[in-house]
Amino acid sequence: MESRGSDPARPLSYEGVWRFTAPAVGISVPRARHAVRDLLKRQRVPVRDDVVQGVLLIVSELVTNAVQHAALLSPELAVEIAVGAEWIRVSVEDDHPYRPGPLEPGTDQTRTGGRGLLLVREITREAGGSCDAEHTAGGGKIVWALLPFTSPFGGLPARGSVTSPRRAP
């Protein structure tokens, strides 16, 4: 991992916040996933492949939820990727006010959908990260997930050791 050297205030070359918008339609799901993958590669974010795969699955699930459940009130969605010294935060924002919650394991096994947020929660939990949904000032919502670059499975940061970064203005 790149060192900050003698200037702890100087951001690392891969740190930053990137935001893009997309129409709330199905084709935006793979486009968002590819855009995030390309961003992480272009910025040379020093993250393990299993974490990248988790981030990309989370992007797919969150964008899919916005397309399927918010498009009527929110024809456009925003994807934001924030990269810190040791974490990645992905969020999807839409203008629909409903804050979804994941189905709990074992609920109505005949349903074909509704498990995306459960999957997001499990990926972030297993990676030692966190996820949540928040209301926006405009009445919509942001659903986000934060993952550390490393996983507790490798004897690295334990769950709860990573805190959510502040949102960029």
Domain tally for the chain? 1
Boundaries of domain holding 26: 22-154
pLDDT of residue 9: 67
d(CA 35, CA 29): 10
In 95-140, beta strands by DSSP E:
130-135
CATH code of 121's domain? 3.30.565.10
Residue 152 DSSP one-character state:
G
Tell me, yes or no, whether 141 lies in a domain: yes
Tell me, yes or no, whether 120 lies in a domain: yes
Report the SS3 class of residue 90. strand
pLDDT of residue 1: 44
Residues 17-72: tens digit of each pLDDT? 999 999 999 999 999 999 999 999 999 999 999 999 999 999 999 999 999 999 88
More confident residue, 133 or 169: 133
Instruction: Please give the model's pTM, rounded to 2 decimal places.
Output: 0.79
Q: How confident is the model at residue 98 (pLDDT cuts 50, 70, 90)?
A: confident
Tell me, yes or no, whether 76 lies in a domain: yes
Tell me, yes or no, whether 101 lies in a domain: yes
